[in-house]
Structure 1
Amino acid sequence: MAVEADDGARSVVRVVPPVHPRKLAKVPFVELAEGRLQGVVSSGSDIERVYVSAITARGHGLSCSTNNNRPCGGLRGSACKHLRALAAEAVLQYGPERVSRYLHVEVAEGQDLVDALRPVAGGGAAPAAAVFSRFLRHLAYLEVPDTTAPLPELHWFPAMEGAR
């Protein structure tokens, strides 16, 4: 991520647009961070429940639990629907090459990313609380009122290139 010098009062960070537009209702938060593809996936049955799902790079450990740390009932040795939705949105956000490279997985032509994984039993515990907390922090930035005054806590926040 390149930071360009401005007049000293602010920084401008180039934001890489998503490869394809995403609908945020099902998977509002997805990131490639801390050696994992991780994010928050909305429950299909309960509007107040979300799942924190993750796939570790290299070992392909799988984890999925609710925001209250209850394990996902669909995660039984293979990827649940939440992990599949997370992977699909990551491919839309970052592109298939970047996601497969990050996870260290070879995906054959026409093969689904999740089907190409070779998960290792017991290797998927992810810090669900930390991922969910980061998601909530991102949501809080959406509630910051519009202003032209400097916001010290957002000095690092990406701005549109050329916006001055």
Structure 2
Amino acid sequence: MVASGEWGAAEAAWAERSAVRVVPPVRPRKLAKVPFVELADGRLRGVVSSGSDIARVYVSSIAARTHDFSCGTNNNRPCGGLSATPCKHLRALVDEAVLQYGRDRVARYLHVTAGEDEDLVRALRGSRVSAPAAVVFSRFLRHLAYLELPDTGAPVPELQWFPATGAVS
């Protein structure tokens, strides 16, 4: 643990801002197809844009360990391409997660055993499940809202529960 008085000038200045450090992606990725991807709550999950309708997005997810997968629109309509095997939205989600986090990290998180050249999606052994899209879509919308905030050093009310002073690990 480092007490706030032991921080360097750069760390102290960073702690005063209403922003968090963002881990840069392993490789640059285009956000138009998969604007949101995360490894959270035991799932690889994200939002994938529709290829045919600009107003439609799909919320796709793959569970760690079981590899059960789901895909549906933001208003909980099932993906038409989802069957006993993952759809193109799930494939796009995995591809973008690999760009964002790296292949090894995604494979470890999902508990996928695949060779270096083996396709991660083909290594999944799960089945289709129904999962509500609301939580993931809500997190995506919240991230979009933060992007619209002006850059400021002032506190952001929604983030004030973070400790401003004291010990940091």
TM-score bin, normalised by smaller chain? 0.7 to 0.9
- In 1, Cα distance between the equivalents of 2:40 and 2:65? 13
Partner of 2:135: 130
Counterpart AA for 1:71: P
- In 1, Cα distance between the equivalents of 2:24 and 2:16? 25
Partner of 1:49: 56
Counterpart AA for 2:158: E
| Residues 11/135 of structure 1: CA separation in 2 closer, same or farther (3 Å cut) | closer
**What's the CA shift string for 1:6-52, capped at 9, x where partnerless?**
37755885432110001000000000001100000000000000000
Structure 2 unaligned spans of 5+: 5-11, 163-169
Decide which structure has the larger Cα Rg and report it.
Answer: 2
- In 2, Cα distance between the equivalents of 1:54 and 1:19? 21
Structure 1 unaligned spans of 5+: 158-164
How many residues of Structure 1 are paired with residues of Structure 2 in the alignment? 154
Partner of 1:61: 68
Query: Percent identical across equivalent pairs?
Result: 72
Conserved 8 A contact 2:57-2:74: yes
Question: TM-score, normalization: structure 1?
Answer: 0.84
Structure with the largest fraction of helix:
2
Residue 81 of structure 1 pairs with residue 88 of structure 2 = yes
Residue 92 of structure 1 pairs with residue 92 of structure 2 = no
| Residues 13/139 of structure 1: CA separation in 2 closer, same or farther (3 Å cut) | closer
Question: TM-score, normalization: structure 2?
Answer: 0.82
Conserved 8 A contact 2:18-2:153: no
Conserved 8 A contact 1:37-1:103: yes
Counterpart AA for 1:43: S
Any idea what SS the aligned residue of 2:105 has? helix
| Residues 4/54 of structure 1: CA separation in 2 closer, same or farther (3 Å cut) | farther
Structure 1: 4+ residue segments shifted above 3 A: 2-15, 154-157
Counterpart AA for 2:87: C
Taking the TM superposition and a 5 Å limit, the aligned residue runs for 1:138-157 are 138-155=143-160
Counterpart AA for 1:140: A
- In 2, Cα distance between the equivalents of 1:117 and 1:4? 44
Conserved 8 A contact 1:4-1:11: no
Conserved 8 A contact 1:10-1:155: no
